[in-house]
Amino acid sequence: MSAARMLTGDRPTGRLHLGHYVGSIANRVRLHQRYDSFFIIADLHMLTTRNTREDIERATDNAREMVTDVLAAGVEPDRATFYLQSAIPEVGDLNTLLQNLVTVPRLERVPSIKEMARDAGKDEVPYGLLGYPVLQAADILCVRAQVVPVGKDNAAHVEVTREIARRFNHLYGEVFPVPELVPAETPTLVGTDGRAKMSKSRGNAIGLADDAATVRRKVRGMYTDPNRVRADVPGTVEGNPVFAYHDVFNPDRARVAELKERYRAGRVGDVAVKEELADAINRFLDPIRERRARVEADPGLVDRLIVEGTERTRAEVRSTLVEVRRAMGLTAVYQRVRRRAERTRRAAATPS
């Protein structure tokens, strides 16, 4: 019996940060022991918003750093299959077939598409970006993943995948499991600037690979209650990113409750609250730093994992594709043409 599969992953656009951690990496670490786990390095998805030669070249190092971050976060290398999406051309083949199972208006309603276009400074949506969720469906379905732990902005993509899987199975027969989304347990993490979400391109992120001094500097610079000019002015805790982070990263609940109370009463300074937050985040990151050091001590490890994983995944994807083409009747089309060609060739060669 083969174990149920999980697929998750990221575009190779940079290192992972605390927002990724709470959005999906925590779930990956928790779940990867229970499933046959695949981790995609989604460089084809990266191309939907970043496709210069430089972007593509940087993907090589970004891929290695990302995988390093995931291993540092606690995913065990012998329990995970990492693979590079663009090294498996059959994913594109499946994408081509799935594109006919979803409409343009359906894709236009996916909120992340417009967001990604806006973030990339594009006022018109490229064709490939509109198809982002379909390509993601191809990723998920070509390894027949049953669970997909991703952050909030990917929820709609998994929903599109479910619709496509059902539609395919209905039209051509049961080939795909309909995958389940595993949502994050923690709500989206705001940026250090208090705005929207943490994102490297907005410069408001704390990286999983940041050292202790960098964390401290970033925390000291965090946005907090702007009306609080002095420590004896009562402060606002709700919506204050410093306390939002305390809630997520400080395991000493009693201390956090006490800090909140004193903050509201104007009996503790922002500086003190931030120093304790920096301590908490650094304590949270310490085991991740230790694991990273162990991963980096074997310089070939990550590249080796990616190569082995890509080969294993490609074999899986190929066998899925054979089944898909067969289910759709595509295999038979060419077989019939070939048989006819053979027959007429033989007839021509046989003197009557």
Q: Take residue 103 and report the two structure tokens written for it.
A: 């409409």
22 lines the binding site for ligand TRP (CB under 6 A): no
139 lines the binding site for ligand TRP (CB under 6 A): yes
Rule CB under 6 A: choose which of 8, 146, 204, 320 binds ligand TRP.
Answer: 8
7 lines the binding site for ligand TRP (CB under 6 A): yes
- Judged by CB under 6 A, the stretch of 136-144, 215-223, 231-239, 263-271 that binds ligand TRP is 136-144
Q: How far is the CB of 176 from ligand TRP (least distance, A)?
A: 14
Question: Phi and psi at residue 99, in whole multiples of 5°?
Answer: -55, -25
278 lines the binding site for ligand TRP (CB under 6 A): no
49 lines the binding site for ligand TRP (CB under 6 A): no
Within 8 A by CB and 6+ apart from 186, the residues are 22, 23, 26, 248
156 lines the binding site for ligand TRP (CB under 6 A): no
148 lines the binding site for ligand TRP (CB under 6 A): yes
Q: Quote the CA–CA distance of 60 and 277 in Å, as a whole number.
A: 34
77 lines the binding site for ligand TRP (CB under 6 A): no
Q: How far is CA 333 from the centre of its chain?
A: 37
Q: How far is the CB of 56 from ligand TRP (least distance, A)?
A: 16
40 lines the binding site for ligand TRP (CB under 6 A): yes
Characterize 143-158 residue by residue with b for buried, 16 or more Cβ atoms within 10 angstroms of its Cβ, and e for exposed.
bbbbbbbbbeebbbbb
Q: How far is the CB of 143 from ligand TRP (least distance, A)?
A: 9
Q: How far is CA 349 from the centre of its chain?
A: 58
Q: How far is the CB of 267 from ligand TRP (least distance, A)?
A: 42
- Judged by CB under 6 A, the stretch of 38-46, 96-104, 267-275, 292-300 that binds ligand TRP is 38-46
Q: Quote the CA–CA distance of 209 and 62 in Å, as a whole number.
A: 13
192 lines the binding site for ligand TRP (CB under 6 A): no
Q: How far is the CB of 98 from ligand TRP (least distance, A)?
A: 13
147-149 sheet: strands from edge to edge = 80-84, 36-41, 5-10, 147-149, 180-182
Closest CA to 245 of 187, 311, 289, 181: 187
What is the secondary structure of 93-154 as a DSSP string?
HHHHHHGGGS-HHHHHT-HHHHHHHHHTT-SS--HHHHTHHHHHHHHHHHTT-SEEE--GGG
Helix, strand or coil for residue 185? coil
Helix, strand or coil for residue 271? helix
Q: Quote the CA–CA distance of 169 and 327 in Å, as a whole number.
A: 9
Annotated ligand binding at 152? The verdict is yes
Q: Which is nearer to ligand TRP, 142 or 256 (CB)?
A: 142
246 lines the binding site for ligand TRP (CB under 6 A): no
Q: How far is the CB of 135 from ligand TRP (least distance, A)?
A: 7
Q: Which is nearer to ligand TRP, 150 or 268 (CB)?
A: 150
Tokens 């190929």 belong to: 318
Please, how many CA atoms are within 13 Å of residue 315, restricted to the half-sphere of its CB? 6
- Judged by CB under 6 A, the stretch of 4-12, 196-204, 270-278, 286-294 that binds ligand TRP is 4-12
Annotated ligand binding at 103? The verdict is no
Q: Residue ranges for the binding site for ATP?
A: 11-13, 19-20, 151-153, 189, 197-201
Q: Residue ranges for the binding site for L-tryptophan?
A: 139
Q: Residue ranges for the binding site?
A: 11-13, 19-20, 139, 151-153, 189, 197-201
Q: Which residues bind ligand TRP (CB under 6 A)?
A: 7-11, 40, 42, 45, 136, 139-140, 148, 150, 154, 157
